[in-house]
Amino acid sequence: MKDNIIIKIRELTKKYGDFTAVNNLNLEIYEGEVFGLLGPNGAGKTTTLLMLLGLTEPTKGVAEVNGYDATKETLQVKRIVGYLPDHVGFYEDMTGRENLRFIGQLNGLDHYTIEERIERLLERVKLLDVGDKKVGAYSRGMKQRLGIADILMKEPKIIILDEPTLGLDPEGVKEMLDLIMELSKKDNRTILISSHLLHQIQKICDRVGIFVKGNLLAKGPIETLGEKVFSDEPLTLEIEILPLDDRVKKLLNSINGITDIKIIEGKIIIQSHEEVRKDLVKVLSQNDYEIRYLKQRGRELDDIYSRYFAGKE
């Protein structure tokens, strides 16, 4: 059970002069979960992460990381948190191995531990064969994976990733997401990801928060977010079946909860006040209809995202 709160944010606020970058943020992150802080550019995601890391001071409020005050106990927080910024800075004229060795030394690890971790981590992030190549010659995807190896050198309990998939090609995105999943599911680390690439990130998040103009508009698992946002609106289902005959409307009308049925361009559009997909599939298949396509509209993260943004932009 993921019920142990590891990051606790209370009324966290950051102002730059009159401008509020983060407004009264309240959020808990549970141990072992992958949490996605999703929002457009300028929403205040990076500012939030920097406050969690003690790299910028809040104007108001508190962030507690594993029980430590992120502003006052920065060293303790640094010890348990690995941070991958959106632009990773490596020494380009040093090799991947040399960069990791340097990080190990900065973290005060002994020689044996450093060398053992370098080999294990290079293998883990699939860079073993290029470990002795200069980082300047690495692709963005390779640099990002080296960034993961870099933060794993100190075996952090919590990993904070700022736009980890930005600028990666599809293969690079997949490798990165697989790696992040592994860090969560295999290692049981807590992962906080900030991103504006919701399609990519939502796949691996246990919960997400929608962040717009410094405000957290909604948080929770993606499925329940949909319920929260659209609770007052009917559900819309789009179906294609064969054969599309006169009898089908009558059959669908017999299903409890359906409030409207329309046939538009060969598609049946159904509105209901409750979930009817299970009953619908049952009735149609019992009556020998072939379902070619079935989609519930208006409950995707995309819909949530555009809904929130449309009202707030």
Q: Does 299 bind ligand ATP (CB under 6 A)?
A: no
For ligand ATP, the closer of residues 9 and 149 by Cβ is 9
Residue 183 to residue 179: CA distance in whole angstroms = 6
Q: Does 42 bind ligand ATP (CB under 6 A)?
A: yes
Pairing between strand 34-38 and 207-212?
parallel
Contacting ligand ATP (CB under 6 A), which of 4, 5, 11, 16? 16
Contacting ligand ATP (CB under 6 A), which of 9, 12, 34, 44? 44
Closest CA to 299 of 201, 230, 202: 230
Closest approach of ligand ATP to the CB of residue 42, in Å: 4
Binding mask 170-199 for ligand ATP (x = CB under 6 A): ------------------------------
Q: Which of the residues 46 through 105 are near ligand ATP (CB under 6 A)? A: 46-47
For ligand ATP, the closer of residues 56 and 95 by Cβ is 56
For ligand ATP, the closer of residues 27 and 284 by Cβ is 27
Q: Does 45 bind ligand ATP (CB under 6 A)?
A: yes
For ligand ATP, the closer of residues 44 and 54 by Cβ is 44
- The contact set with ligand ATP (CB under 6 A) reads 16, 21, 39, 41-47
